[in-house]
Structure formats: structure tokens, C-alpha cells
Amino acid sequence: MKVHIVAIAVVVMAIIFLSGCKEEEMVALQVSVADSNVSYKSGEVIVVYKREVRKSAIDTLHRQCGASVKKELFKNGSKRIDLVKLPASMSVEEAIKYYQQRPEVESVEPNRIRRKYKTIPNDANISSQWHLDRTFDSSGATLIDMNATSAWDTTQGYSAMIVAVIDTGIDSAHPDLRTQLWHNSKEGVIADGVDNDGNGYIDDAIGYDFVNHDNDPNDDDVDGHGTHVAGLIAAEGNNSTGMSGVAWRASIMALKILDSEGYGDTANEIEAIRYAVDNGAKIINMSIGGECADEASNGEYEAIAYARDNGVLVVVASGNDTCNTDVTPTYPAGHPLDNIIAVGATNRFGEAAWFSNYGASSVHLSAPGEDIFSTVPLAKGSYALMSGTSMATPIVTGSALLVLGYDSNVSYKQLREKLVGSAIQSSKLEGKNLVEGNLDVGSALFWNAAMHRPIKPALTSVIKSNNFISLSWMDYSTVESGYRLKRATTLENNVTQTWDLSVDTVSFTDTQVPLSEGDSYFYWVEAYNSVGVTQSNVVAINIPLSAPVILSISASYGNRVQLDWNDTSNVEEGYIIYRSSSFWGGFSEIARMQSDSTTFTDTTTTAETTYYYMIKAYKSTNLSAESNLVQVLTPKEIVQEASASSSGGGAFGFGDLLVLGLLLLGLRGANRREAG
């Protein structure tokens, strides 16, 4: 029996309702800790338009699917980002497919959930601020020292320096914080219901609440997360009350984007970043982020790039999920922007905290983050211990304020280099951050980058195109004399090509690479000056093998399927056959064939079953792309295999005896006819 190949035709139909889409009011975000798998808000997307798109084109774009602009989040020259409200009939996934096809749109993305980074401490009895100076630790157990007391001998901060805290809000009545808050002098002393400074926000005296859309960024978080963060940055020092922040003097701008459970979204975050920059912040603290391996937000990237273009440093928590963020990045910490400091957490022994994310290229330095004492709202007891990269981050932010208190003229890149470059290196942090070091603010104040090797660059992107390979990296130094990009064919530094590149170079295209199928290439970047050389991470790129093409598939029996394909590769070691009973996935390897094979028979199938097959060529661990996908329905009939003989010489099986008996009966009948 021959079964014809069943062709697979997947027709994707986009049905756009031009009218009649019933819109519903979005329910306020209510996400509990138990709902931590929620990754974005329903009913909304964030749209980044291409430059120079007219407003009329934008209006038409949304009207055609029944959507509308809920809020303009960001506008910088001809660049615009909107939060778009979807009709009730359209899912986020459908909206993304729709907007991705439109020529007016640069990118579209969900309004992703952002959450605080906090880990519950194990030891509730620790009440001293060991993170500032180990002499403060009465137990004598602390082994690291960020040398805050040394810094305080020179500066205690700078009252006019504005630092924005994008978090759950701040308790403005706290005695250790009320004198440290930013006051928007352009808005006036009295709340009069008028936008006196014309910035789009009414009576925003100390900041803004982007969750409740009012001028009261009060911290109603269950833990008091934002207040804890603010205290670590700049709780008033030397006032005989409570505790001391890293900086004793500062101007803290309270920007609330997280609700009472510690959840918010990128739309509010983008708007808060713009607010912070436009209203004079020089540093932004974001002890927030998404899940490991989450997709990057282009809108978030654009907002932080806007901060960079205005000279603003952004200090971000790396996260508390014990992820290697070189492999599974978190955002916003993972954006490849040189105004970001991504912070990991350490314990009092100088080790990476058990919860802290890490990354030899993506986390830039570490700071104390376990059992950290700071302010919380008065209703929650005024002071408490917390743990997390959320705590390490404001300690770095407070240190940045001290550096600016000493020299307010340093650029964001110089400020970043002082903090990262002066970190105390430790073998305990090998592979944990870019400089394998702990924060040392006492050294950061006087750090002269020109007397040291450049901070090592970090390769962030290696992309293969048709005839070349494009590379990008982060330039983390202000004192390099140049860069050397190297290409090798093995990890043992078998260098085949070197390029000398100028200062501040951050990308290169290798047009000389052979790109032969099955080959592997290794790239890294070296930064150098008169003091020495530093090397980036090494990134490998494999040139895939040519994918096979399945020519035919047939099922002559229920337990026998035959595949035939083209051998398209010249270097493969063999082929891997994959099978699934579902078109949507679940493929598993069922066989490996030797090099130059072009046919395979699967004898493990079941009758009257639909199967899907695909093939890949392989060479060591290098795999080709998938072949075309083919489908077959096995028939009812199966192959009758001969029965095995029972043990013992000359013995007959039951089938043999049956055939022999029939033959004997036939012979007896013939003999009777002859006798008659």
C-alpha cells in the first residue's frame, strides 16, 4: 500500500476589525508575589515609531485596528514612544503581529512588568550598618570595607545634586529623609492645582506617582522598599537620629512606578526616566527589573539612552535569581549602554550573595547587599533589614553622590569609571562581575584613570551576515589609547587576524572571514594604553552546516516510514533524524545516520498515526538549520515479521506446524482422487 505525502500549508490570516471593537477600561494592575510569572500587562503595547512619522499617520495606524494612544510616553526630537490601548477584541500577541507589519513602526513590545529586587534576610538581629565600614560591625565578622569613613573625611555629599529614585515611592515624613528630598522650586510652595512649571505634572513638589497619577509619591509598598533604598543613598547623617546614608547630603527625587506589592511596568518606567532627566537629575537609581532571559524593551533602551545623551548615570540592580546574566540577561541592567552600572550583591565576607545574579561582562561591580539596615516607612517601624541587589544598588548610587560632591564636573563616563575601576579586586568574585571587585568609595574619590589600565571592554554583539561578521562592544574606559580586535580559529588563541582600531571605537565589520560551513571563529577585543592591556570576553561564532532537504516521505506499512533527502553539506559527520506526533513541537531525536546518507527507514511507528519529521546535519556540536518539515499518516496495515524459532535444534514453531499440516492434508486428498 502506498500513502501519498500530505502537504502542510499554514495560512496566517490577520483579521482587522475596522470598527465595532468594544474598548474596556483597564483594571489597575494587581499582581501578588504568587503571580510572579506574569510578564506583561494585558490590553496595552508600547509602540516606538520611526523618525519623522506624521501624527496623522500615527492616528490612522491605530484607528484601523480600533486601538488608541493611551499616553505619549516619550518624545525627543522626531523620536516618539506611545503607550497604546488595545480594543477588547485584540490580544497583546495579535497587536504585536499587526504593528510589526506596519512601515510606520520601528518596534512594538508588551508593557512588561517590572518588580522590586528584594530578598528576605535570614538574620533579623543584625542592626548595625556593616556595609559602610567594617568597624561598625560589633560582631567583628565583616571582612570587606567600602571605606565610607575615608570618603567622609573629604566630602559628605552635595545638597544641590539631584538623584532620582525610581521605585515604590518614599515616606516623605521620615525624620531621616524629610530634609533630603528634592523640592521643585518652579512649582511653588503651595499646591494650587496648577502646573506652574509647565512640565505636564500638576503640583509635583517632590516628584510624581506614576501608578496613581498624582503628585504624592508615597511609599505604600508592603516592605517599604523605596524608602529603604532612599535611606541607603542619602539618609541624613550626623544628626543623632537613626542611621546614615552613604551620602549625608543630597536632593532625592521620589518617582513612584511600583505599586503596593512592588510591581509596575515599563510604560511608567519610561515616563519616569524622562521626568528625572528633564527635571535635573544627574543620577537615577533603579532597584528594579524583569525576569532572567526576559526580552529587552526597546522603549526602555531609548529612555536610558536619552539619559545618557543628557549626561545622566543610571545605576541598576542586576537581580536576585542567581542567573548568569551573560547568558540570560535581565533588564534594564542588561542594556548595552555605557551610562549604566549593573550592580551585584555581596555578603559581609566579600562573597557574591547567595541570591545575586552575576556575569563576567554584564554585571559591572558588586556592593554589600545582604542584611542591610536602612529606613522604612514610619508605619512599618522606621528601620529594618533587607537583602537584595536592590540594596547594593543604592549603596553604589550614594557613592556616586560622594564622588560628585568631591568633583561635580566629572562626566557620567568618568564617574562610572571611577566607581568601577577603583573596586577592590577579589578572587571570591572571579567571574562574578566585570572587574571581579567590590565597591571602594574611599578610593573612587581620588581614582585617576590615566594611571591605570583601561577598564576592559565587553563584547555585546557578534552577528553573521551573508558575507561578513559584525561585532559591537562596550567602551567602558576614558583613557584607552586604542583597541585591538582579534580573530582566532581555536580557543587556544590561534590568532589568524588582528585589527588596530582607534580610541572610542565600539564596532567593526570583518569582511575577510572565509565563512566556510562548519567552521568556528573566536573574537575578542583588547583595550590598551601606556600602563597596560585589558581583554574582553571571548565570543564564538559557528558557521552552520548546509541544511538537508527532504525530497520524499512514504509509509508503505503502519510500522515503516521511509525518508529520502539531499546531502547538501560537504563537511558533515552525519545526520540526525527528528520525529514528533505534533506539528507544534515536541521533536525528539530517533536516529543518527552516517556521513553522505540520503535515506532512512523508521520501523518504530504505530499504525494510523500522523508523524512529522525533520533532519539536521551535524559536525561535532555544530548543527545545521532544520530541514523542511514533512508529514505522513501511517496506514492500518503492518508488516508481519517471521516468528522466531523456539530453542532446540530442529524444532518447529506453531506457524511451521500449521503450514506442514495443511500440506499433508493436501497430499492426502490428492492420493484419494488417484485411488478413485
Q: If you average pLDDT over residues 639-668, what whole number do you get?
A: 48
The pair phi, psi for residue 163, each rounded to 5°, is -120, 125
Q: If you average pLDDT over residues 285-313, what whole number do you get?
A: 96
Q: If you average pLDDT over residues 253-281, what whole number do you get?
A: 97
Asked about 42 being catalytic, the answer comes back as no
Rounded Cα gap, residues 288 and 269, in angstroms: 10
| pLDDT (tens digit per residue) in 453-507 | 999 999 999 998 878 999 999 999 999 999 999 999 887 778 989 999 999 999 9
- Of 17-26, 134-143, 302-311, 535-544, highest mean pLDDT: 302-311
Q: Mean pLDDT lowest for which of 150-159, 162-171, 350-359?
A: 150-159
Asked about 167 being catalytic, the answer comes back as yes
Residue 653 predicted with pLDDT over 60: no
For residue 637, give every residue at least 6 positions away whose Cβ sits within 8 Å of its Cβ, in sequence order, or none.
1, 557, 558, 607
Asked about 225 being catalytic, the answer comes back as yes
Catalytic residue among 390, 443, 569, 597: 390
CB 260 within 8 A of CB 221: yes
CB 66 within 8 A of CB 23: yes
The helix/strand/coil state of 406 is helix
For residue 562, give every residue at least 6 positions away whose Cβ sits within 8 Å of its Cβ, in sequence order, or none.
552, 553, 554, 555, 556, 599, 600, 601, 602
Rounded Cα gap, residues 108 and 172, in angstroms: 37
Residue 320 predicted with pLDDT over 90: yes
Residue 646 predicted with pLDDT over 80: no
Query: How does the average pLDDT of the chain come out, rounded?
Result: 87
The helix/strand/coil state of 135 is helix
**Left, alpha or beta for 162 (phi > 0: left; psi -120 to 50: alpha)?**
beta
- Closest by CA to 83, choosing from 43, 28, 46, is 46
Predicted pLDDT at 137:
81
**What is the separation of C-alpha 653 from the centre of its chain, rounded to a whole number of angstroms?**
66
Amino acid letter, 247 = A
| pLDDT (tens digit per residue) in 411-436 | 999 999 999 999 999 999 999 999 99
Q: If you average pLDDT over residues 650-658, what whole number do you get?
A: 44
Predicted pLDDT at 117:
72
Percent of the chain with pLDDT over 70: 87
Domains by residue range for the chain, with CATH:
33-116 (3.30.70.80), 134-447 (3.40.50.200), 458-542 (2.60.40.10), 549-633 (2.60.40.10)
Residue 28 predicted with pLDDT over 80: no
| pLDDT (tens digit per residue) in 192-228 | 999 999 999 999 999 999 999 999 999 999 999 999 9
| pLDDT (tens digit per residue) in 93-131 | 999 999 999 999 999 999 998 887 754 333 233 346 888
Rounded Cα gap, residues 358 and 548, in angstroms: 39
Rounded Cα gap, residues 237 and 246, in angstroms: 8
C-alpha cell at 72: 505619549
Catalytic residue among 137, 167, 176, 326: 167
Amino acid letter, 173 = A
* pLDDT confidence tier of residue 308, bands split at 50, 70 and 90: very high
Question: pTM (2 decimals)?
Answer: 0.80
Bridge pairing between strands 105-116 and 249-256: unpaired
In this predicted model, which residue has the larger pLDDT, 80 or 543?
A: 80
Q: If you average pLDDT over residues 441-456, what whole number do you get?
A: 94
For residue 76, give every residue at least 6 positions away whose Cβ sits within 8 Å of its Cβ, in sequence order, or none.
302, 306
Rounded Cα gap, residues 361 and 341, in angstroms: 11
Question: Can you list the pairs that 92-101 forms with residues at least 24 positions away whose Cβ atoms lie under 8 Å?
Answer: 92/40, 92/42, 92/43, 92/44, 92/45, 94/14, 95/45, 95/65, 95/67, 96/45, 97/14, 98/14, 98/16, 98/65, 99/45, 99/47, 99/61, 101/14
Rounded Cα gap, residues 672 and 667, in angstroms: 9
The upper half-sphere exposure of residue 456, i.e. CA atoms within 13 Å in the direction of its Cβ, equals 22
For residue 70, give every residue at least 6 positions away whose Cβ sits within 8 Å of its Cβ, in sequence order, or none.
44, 82, 83, 84, 85
Catalytic residue among 62, 174, 225, 335: 225
Residue 161 predicted with pLDDT over 60: yes
Predicted pLDDT at 335:
97
| DSSP annotation of 126 | -
- Closest by CA to 445, choosing from 144, 249, 157, is 157
Predicted pLDDT at 621:
83
Predicted pLDDT at 341:
98
Predicted pLDDT at 652:
42
Rounded Cα gap, residues 107 and 359, in angstroms: 28
Residue 18 predicted with pLDDT over 60: no
Q: If you average pLDDT over residues 636-652, what whole number do you get?
A: 54
The helix/strand/coil state of 590 is strand
Let me know the angle formed at the C-alpha of 398 by 295 and 199, rounded to the nearest 5 degrees: 65
Q: If you average pLDDT over residues 527-541, what whole number do you get?
A: 95
C-alpha cell at 365: 561591580
Predicted pLDDT at 138:
76
Rounded Cα gap, residues 433 and 122, in angstroms: 24
The pair phi, psi for residue 399, each rounded to 5°, is -65, -40
